[in-house]
Amino acid sequence: MSTTVPIVDYLELGDEPRLVAKSCSSCGALYFDRRNACARCGGTDFDRRPLAGQGKVRTFTIVQRAAPGVKVPYVSAVVDLDGGGSVKSNLVDVEPAPEQVTLGMPVRLVTYSVGTDDQGTEAVAFGFAPA
C-alpha cells in the first residue's frame, strides 16, 4: 500500500480532504503557517479550525511565464471560503484563458497527486475546481 503525504501541513487528507487553519483562541484570526503569536492581537494560543471546502474566486491571474520546472500556463487564484478564511491555490479543471475564469465564480476544493518520491510516497496537493 502506498502512503500519501499532503503538500503542506494545513491540508488534511482522508475520505473528505479539508483545509485546517490555526485559529487564534483570543480573536479568531486565521493562519496557515507555524505561529509564534497572533499577528492581530498577540495571543499565543491557537485552535485547529477546519475550513469549508466551498468558496468564491476573489482574484486570479493566468501565469504564462515562470521559472524553469514550473509548468505553464496555470491559473492562480485567491479563494474566499464560505464561512471564513481565504486561501491561495491553482484553479483546476478550467481552461487557462481569461474568458473562462470569472471573478466571484463558485469553486470547490479538490485534491490530486503531484508526484511520488524515491520511497514511493505520493504527494497530494489541493486546488479549486468550478463548483
Partner 1 sequence: MAKSSDDVWILGASMTKFGRYPGRDVVDLGSEAALAALSDGDVKIHDMQVMAVGNLAEAGGMVGQRIQKQIGQTGIPVYNVANACATGATAVRTVYMAIKSGEADMGLAVGVEVMGKAGLLGSAGRSKEGPNVYEPSGRYGAVMSPEGILGTGVMPGVFAQAGMEYAYENDGVTFEQFAKVAEKNHAHSVLNPLAQYQKAFSLEEIKAAEMVAYPNTLLMCCPTGDGAAAVVLVSGEKLASLSDEQRKRAVKISASVLTSDPWTERGQVQPDVNTLTRNAADAAYEKAGVSPQDLDLVELHDCFATAELLHYDNLRLCEPGGAGDFIDSGAPRRDGRTPVNVSGGLISKGHPLGATGVANLYEVATHLRGEAGDRQVPEAKVGLTHVIGLGSACAVHILEKAAS
> Helices then strands (H, E): number in the chain?
0, 10
Give the nearest distance from C-beta 10 to partner 1 in angstroms: 7
Handedness of CA 79, 129, 32, 43 (dihedral sign): positive
Distance CA 96, CA 41 (A): 39
- β-pair partners for 128: 91, 109
Q: Per-residue string for binding with partner 1, 41-80, x by CB under 8 A?
A: -----------------xxxxxxxxxxxxxxx-x-xxx-x
Determine the size of the site formed for partner 1 (CB under 8 A): 53
Contact between 52 and 79 under an 8 Å Cβ cutoff? The reply is no
Nearer to partner 1, 9 or 131 (CB): 9
Give the nearest distance from C-beta 39 to partner 1 in angstroms: 5
End-to-end CA distance of the chain: 32
Among 52, 110, 123, 129, binds partner 1 (CB under 8 A): 123
Q: Does 29 bind partner 1 (CB under 8 A)?
A: yes
Residues in the site for partner 1, rule: CB under 8 A?
5-10, 29-34, 39-40, 58-72, 74, 76-78, 80, 85-90, 98, 103-104, 114-115, 117-119, 121, 123, 125-127
